[in-house]
Amino acid sequence: MNAFRCAGLTLGSLPPGPRAMITDVPGVRVGHYTLIEDVKGSAIRTGVTAIVPPGDPYAEPLAAGIFVLHGHGKATGLWQIQDLGELETPILLTNTLAVFSCAEALLTWTLKRHPQARSVNPVVLECNDGWLSTIEFRPLQEKHALLALDAASEEVAEGCVGAGTGMIAFGYKSGIGTASRIVDPYTVGALALPNMGRREDFVPPSPLALSPFGGEAGSEGMGGSLIVVLATDAPLLPAQLARLCRRGLLGAARTGAPADTGSGDFFLAFSTTLRLPRDAKSVAVEIIPDRSRLMGELYRAAAEATQEAIYSALLAATPLTGREGRSPPIFRPKNR
Amino acid sequence: MNAFRCAGLTLGSLPPGPRAMITDVPGVRVGHYTLIEDVKGSAIRTGVTAIVPPGDPYAEPLAAGIFVLHGHGKATGLWQIQDLGELETPILLTNTLAVFSCAEALLTWTLKRHPQARSVNPVVLECNDGWLSTIEFRPLQEKHALLALDAASEEVAEGCVGAGTGMIAFGYKSGIGTASRIVDPYTVGALALPNMGRREDFVPPSPLALSPFGGEAGSEGMGGSLIVVLATDAPLLPAQLARLCRRGLLGAARTGAPADTGSGDFFLAFSTTLRLPRDAKSVAVEIIPDRSRLMGELYRAAAEATQEAIYSALLAATPLTGREGRSPPIFRPKNR
Amino acid sequence: MNAFRCAGLTLGSLPPGPRAMITDVPGVRVGHYTLIEDVKGSAIRTGVTAIVPPGDPYAEPLAAGIFVLHGHGKATGLWQIQDLGELETPILLTNTLAVFSCAEALLTWTLKRHPQARSVNPVVLECNDGWLSTIEFRPLQEKHALLALDAASEEVAEGCVGAGTGMIAFGYKSGIGTASRIVDPYTVGALALPNMGRREDFVPPSPLALSPFGGEAGSEGMGGSLIVVLATDAPLLPAQLARLCRRGLLGAARTGAPADTGSGDFFLAFSTTLRLPRDAKSVAVEIIPDRSRLMGELYRAAAEATQEAIYSALLAATPLTGREGRSPPIFRPKNR
Amino acid sequence: MNAFRCAGLTLGSLPPGPRAMITDVPGVRVGHYTLIEDVKGSAIRTGVTAIVPPGDPYAEPLAAGIFVLHGHGKATGLWQIQDLGELETPILLTNTLAVFSCAEALLTWTLKRHPQARSVNPVVLECNDGWLSTIEFRPLQEKHALLALDAASEEVAEGCVGAGTGMIAFGYKSGIGTASRIVDPYTVGALALPNMGRREDFVPPSPLALSPFGGEAGSEGMGGSLIVVLATDAPLLPAQLARLCRRGLLGAARTGAPADTGSGDFFLAFSTTLRLPRDAKSVAVEIIPDRSRLMGELYRAAAEATQEAIYSALLAATPLTGREGRSPPIFRPKNR
């Protein structure tokens, strides 16, 4: 269960899956590599998170779509998703200056499995952890990303792990969060990397609305960013997945995410079941029409799962002292 | 003052302008024409709302931008804004099947002032009031839209007037709502036409969160739409105005707007001061860079003003009985 | 046969259909209403062209996509195609100031067939014929558009008919042109309304490359616009149809289309076989993957058919004297 | 002078700059690193090309815009340009699997000059040279890209150098090509990396149209890609630069570029004079309105320069034998 559900909280009208995690979508796995070390005066507080889809994404690319709320980000691989709607590698999340080491890892990972490949489109998304971590040392290497890929499993560690290690959101320590929703017979899962917002932007989960906040405000005035990855086993077309992303945005907005001027707010969604085998001449698909009520429920699921995943990232976060002795407060309402 | 402020409510961190209305942006005026009549078995509950920018929009087009969350809408004139960033007519809001009568009115209005014009790009946005009004009678005519344009003034009537006449949102009677924010020395104003959402989607203004709702649920299961028009006297470029629209979206999401499958959620923003005279060879502009703190505050203003304008539309709405005797409940928390 | 083929010309590597017209796509029909009259000192030289897809577009919307090269245009109905990928009415082409009369006609046409409809998304595209026609008189009425719809048939008149009546391109009299290509077992058809370009922009069909031009240059310096509608019976998804539009753009560029500052260059493509019935819960589709060779051939077909349709519009045009006695030259190379 | 002008050819209506190269735009420099070696059974035929804008791009980002015709590409850094319109590093061109080594080089290059930087958006574009080069060995390293940056000068080597080393286009050996146009008082420059098209797609420069082709057809059926970078000293806004890119597309289409299913056709344009200093609170700009004739001429310049740059890449190419002994023919018409 995710930290949100473990705290006894609920949100929205749709039920979560059994784990309340993105891995409730069959076959989806998540792995982390966390890098915490202090060398040569640095405070490295960073990592990589891998989201691994089921099957062979290169041989059978997955339908995928994106939405970018504010484009101040360094993500790789997005145009091929934007234009062609295909995801052909796992997805890595990391810090802003480690994007390209991680992309190299996805090349290596894919070429190992497909030695004949001449073109690979690695997808890496990022948030900036430079407030807590000596990001400019660029300590993360390809090997770390490969370890995150190897570590992928169905149980998702939340909080200050992997790419979540150095995150802060709404002035609190943040990290990795995840959630899921069931829209029978389908599941929609979300994994969030929230790194945005000032204290006064925060809209806490509703039964906690009137609780006094603990701790002191974190990094004032940082714009920050937000990454959300949505997975579903509904056979959605790329354009529908892009629309699913926009509902993730609605969920993020309900937590108070401000999309400030420096933010890179990227949403990516993929379907594990609508796949486009590389050499297929035709692919039989059962489209869910956009007007259908089911589609509306899937939209609702994306919004709820995203909102919950962001809250779960905050609730799972644990104390961490980083660069220049900074130690952002933990979000724990007093009545718990 | 808008209905939200008149109810003693506040929201967000930025102060409203003196009227708490879109007309706090100097020179912006709003007019309505309301059409309520019962003829030949019909129940006409509809209207037109005109937002008139200062100056001569055809001779000196205004910088403008849009964002469309879900494109199930029949708006006219948007590509020229999307691609070229120019608004050259007033903006009309009306019902889904009256869009083109209103567009004709804008042609007439412009050709009267500029007889030499050979090309005019009328901007009309719409929501569907067919649950309360016999929309398929298509009763609104060009003359009604011209009357709305003529009626434009700085005092904005809210609630069940103009295009707001037949609106419902979150199961309650809705209408026209407006709000504003000051980001010294600039003003950001919003006018909303909310026609979306189910009762369970609603996130009430926060001090009212625990109040019991009055009345019965309105039209279950209707997707509905949302139109938001933002105005500012900050000299924003078209791309910046498009980004302002996306922050309007954040404010809408905080009220619970679901962007359901049938929704047409259109956001349009214009600047009254960044103007591109039709025959100018060059135009001197003071750009506010995207990274600046001021830009972040303008984004915040757009989110807050949009959220408040939607609430104000609900709080200003008054009882109305329409088609098939339908009479949606009014949102009034019991403790007020 | 279209005028291009009647002139003994060929172009590209793919074969045309039996008519070399958009109506080679089974079930597609085209109708015109031409309005030529001189009243009260005016010279009316305008019209409406209707492209009617097979079946009932409202009950069973067609997959559709668009591409806009330069957005200086007043088209209606495009956001619903852009975002949701659905075409639910016939397509009308007309002059810039008659767009909304034509849109009303599509409302009437649809409500007559579906009295219960409460929302209709009429698609109308336009070019400006104000150089030859007294466009500001706004003579075209809804009834004229309904007559164009009624006149739809499989044999397409080209040249100075319907919306083509007042067109000029590359300084020559232009009009309606059409063409098609076979990509076994599918057909791609194009209908073009070229109204753009200066004489020096023109790239004539290649065997005519060195022929001296007849006549005098037409309206110098007018930016002009270009509308291209593509139809296919290949079951393409909306995103694929949008990409098909971009290949239409390639074909247009090969004729020298400049996309000048005042141009509204709109491309719209629809599939007659990938249909999304309004109340369907799921739709079985055989997707043609984007990487397939067949998709590449369909792209090639769109480029070739568009290029040929533009040439055919010029070759089919006949002398016409309009506003202020203007009479643009006819494109006929001397060696023919 | 570029290879096209050296061959005595001309194209279009606008005059070239003194070098007929992108470096006619004051301050723009271009450098190459070419990697040709045969080790361990490989045939490495690849390289990096650097386009270095004047001034300090990180301290004073340049206005920039993009257009993607077909998104099958692995470019980095584009969302920040797409959304925010800013270029903050030099631009590197390389092969598909070397994108991320090059991106690392841009991080190193920037952090060396701005040690306090915590976020850098490196822009790297690519074509696939895997038909001539053992691309999957991934031989290009960060150091090679840094050497290309160091080598930047005002004289641009064309043909089989840098990223052009392993290119083929229209079945011929291709490479780097460049061209420029003067629109007084401004210059528009283009640099092209054409790697697309089949022999039958090719539209040769017009006086050469009827000449028989020399040599044998190269790699049949490869989709290929096209990269075009446009530079100008006109103070264009990001949205205008994006539109400039679309005119580059028109020029590319006139050479026969097909945008086949596997293509990544990316166009990027930047202004050397509209700069947005990182900490500026406001920036005074003289906007050139979109409707102005000057803007139309700048569009024309972009189309002509792109078309010429592609031809120049073919005319500058020299024989090269690569992987599996492949040696694509050289485009040289017999009459020269």
CATH code of B255's domain: 3.60.70.12
Query: Alpha-carbon distance C205 to C332, whole Å?
Result: 11
For C112, phi then psi, to 5°, come to: -65, -40
Residue B332: the pLDDT is 80
Find the mean pLDDT for residues D26-30: 98
**pLDDT of C245 strictly over 90:** yes
List B residues 249-278 in contact with D (Cβ-Cβ < 8 A): 276-278
Tokens 């779960």 -> residue: A312
**pLDDT of B215 strictly over 80:** no
What is the C-alpha R_g of chain A?
Answer: 19
Residue A206: the pLDDT is 76
- CA nearest C260: which of C66, C70, C67, C74? C70
**pLDDT of A70 strictly over 80:** yes
Give the active site residue among C24, C180, C265, C271: C265
- The CA-atom distances, in angstroms, between D209 and each of C153, C319, D213 are 40, 32, 10
| Probe site for chain D from B243, B292, B294 (most D CB atoms < 10 A) | B292
Find the mean pLDDT for residues B72-94: 96
Find the mean pLDDT for residues A265-284: 95
- What's the pLDDT tens digit per position in B178-191? 999 999 999 999 99
| Probe site for chain D from C196, C228, C250 (most D CB atoms < 10 A) | C250
Residue B334: the pLDDT is 52
H/E segment holding residue A271: strand A264-275
Structural domain contains residue D325: no
Find the mean pLDDT for residues D57-74: 97
What is the sign, positive or negative, of the torsion defined by CA atoms of B234, B236, B238, B242?
negative
What is the sign, positive or negative, of the torsion defined by CA atoms of A104, A107, A110, A116?
negative
Query: Alpha-carbon distance A72 to D121, whole Å?
Result: 9
C55: closest CA of chain B, how far (Å): 22
Structural domain contains residue D10: yes
**pLDDT of B210 strictly over 60:** no
A128: three-class secondary structure by DSSP: coil
H helix runs in D87-183, sequence order: 99-113, 142-150
Residue A212: the pLDDT is 43
- What's the pLDDT tens digit per position in B216-249? 444 444 568 999 999 999 999 999 999 999 999 9
- CA nearest C225: which of C34, C49, C74? C74
**pLDDT of C140 strictly over 60:** yes
**pLDDT of D220 strictly over 50:** no
Structure tokens at B22: 């879109």
Q: How many CB pairs under 8 A join A and C?
A: 70
What is the sign, positive or negative, of the torsion defined by CA atoms of D101, A89, A126, D72?
positive
H/E segment holding residue A179: strand A177-183
Report the Cα D333 to chain-centroid distance in Å.
25
End-to-end CA distance of chain A: 18
Question: Which of D83, D283, D290 lies at the smallest CB-CB distance from B287?
Answer: D283
Find the mean pLDDT for residues B114-143: 97
Residue C206: the pLDDT is 77
pLDDT band at A224 (very low <50, low <70, confident <90, very high): confident
pLDDT band at C208 (very low <50, low <70, confident <90, very high): low
pLDDT band at D207 (very low <50, low <70, confident <90, very high): low
Residue C213: the pLDDT is 45
Structure tokens at B169: 């949102």
pLDDT band at D259 (very low <50, low <70, confident <90, very high): very high
- What's the pLDDT tens digit per position in B292-301? 999 999 999 9
Residue of chain A nearest D110, judged by CA positions: A136
Residue C336: the pLDDT is 42
Of A4 and A222, which is predicted with more confidence?
A4
Name the percent of chain D lying above pLDDT 70.
Answer: 94
Q: Check residue D153 and report its DSSP letter.
A: B
- What's the pLDDT tens digit per position in D131-151? 999 999 999 999 999 999 999
**pLDDT of A210 strictly over 50:** no
Residue of chain C nearest B101, judged by CA positions: C100
D284: three-class secondary structure by DSSP: strand
Give the active site residue among A180, A263, A271, A312: A263
Lowest average pLDDT, out of A220-229, B29-38, C228-237, goes to: A220-229
**pLDDT of D219 strictly over 80:** no
- What's the pLDDT tens digit per position in B28-52? 999 999 999 998 899 999 999 999 9
**pLDDT of A223 strictly over 90:** no
Residue of chain D nearest B288, judged by CA positions: D282
A53: closest CA of chain C, how far (Å): 20
Question: Which of B203, B257, B291 lies at the smallest CB-CB distance from A262?
Answer: B291
Lowest average pLDDT, out of A316-320, B37-41, C189-193, D246-250, goes to: B37-41
H/E segment holding residue D48: strand D44-52
Residue D334: the pLDDT is 53
Contact yes or no for B136 and C128 at CB 8 A: no
What chains are in contact with B, requiring at least 3 Cβ pairs below 8 Å?
A: A, C, D
Contact yes or no for C250 and D258 at CB 8 A: yes
Query: Alpha-carbon distance C227 to C70, whole Å?
Result: 11
Domain range for D86 is: 3-278+285-318
Of C189 and C211, which is predicted with more confidence?
C189
Residue of chain C nearest B127, judged by CA positions: C119
B101 neighbourhood in chain C, CB within 8 Å: 100, 104
Burial (CB < 10 A; 0-12, 13-18, 19+), residue D182, is: middle
List B residues 109-148 in contact with C (Cβ-Cβ < 8 A): 111, 115, 117-122, 128, 130, 135-136, 138
Contact yes or no for C79 and B70 at CB 8 A: no
Domain count, chain C: 1
A252: three-class secondary structure by DSSP: helix
Structural domain contains residue D249: yes
Catalytic site includes residue D292: no
User: Is A96 in CB contact (< 8 Å) with chain D?
Assistant: yes
- SS3 assignment for chain B: CCHHHHCCCCCCCCCCCCCCCHHHCCCCEEEEEEEEECCCCCCEEEEEEEEECCCCCCCCCEEEEEEEEEECCCCECHHHHHHHCEECCCEEEEEHHHHHHHHHHHHHHHHHHCCCCCCCCCEEEEECCCCCCCHHHCCCCHHHHHHHHHCCECCCCCECCHHHCCCEECCEECCEEEEEEEECCEEEEEEEEEEECCHHHCCCCHHHCCCCCCCCCCCCCCCEEEEEEEEECCCCCHHHHHHHHHHHHHHHHHHCCCCCCCCEEEEEEEEEEEECCCCCCCEEEEECCCCCHHHHHHHHHHHHHHHHHHHHHHHHCCCCCCHHHCCCCCCCCCCC
| Probe site for chain D from B66, B86, B285, B293 (most D CB atoms < 10 A) | B285
Find the mean pLDDT for residues D278-302: 94
**pLDDT of B172 strictly over 50:** yes
**pLDDT of A217 strictly over 50:** no
C84 neighbourhood in chain A, CB within 8 Å: 290
pLDDT band at C214 (very low <50, low <70, confident <90, very high): very low
| Probe site for chain C from A237, A245, A274, A275 (most C CB atoms < 10 A) | A237
Query: Alpha-carbon distance B159 to B173, whole Å?
Result: 9
**pLDDT of D10 strictly over 80:** yes
pLDDT band at D262 (very low <50, low <70, confident <90, very high): confident
Residue A208: the pLDDT is 59
If phi > 0 it is left, if psi is from -120 to 50 it is alpha, else beta; for residue D262 that is alpha
Tokens 């259908």 -> residue: A292
Question: Which of D277, D281, D284 lies at the smallest CB-CB distance from B284?
Answer: D284
Question: How would you label C61-99 residue by residue, b for 16+ Cβ within 10 Å and e otherwise?
Answer: bbbbbbbbbbbbbbbbbbbbbbbbbbbbbbbbbbbbbbb
Before A26, cis peptide (omega within 30)? no
Name the percent of chain A lying above pLDDT 90.
Answer: 90
ipTM (interface pTM)? 0.95
Residue of chain B nearest A300, judged by CA positions: B258
Structural domain contains residue C327: no
pLDDT band at C210 (very low <50, low <70, confident <90, very high): very low
Lowest average pLDDT, out of A17-31, A188-202, C218-232, D230-244, goes to: C218-232
Tell me the pairing of strands D29-37 and C283-287: unpaired
Contact yes or no for C118 and B128 at CB 8 A: yes
Find the mean pLDDT for residues B52-80: 97
Q: How many CB pairs under 8 A join B and C?
A: 106
What is the C-alpha R_g of chain D?
Answer: 19
Find the mean pLDDT for residues B109-128: 97
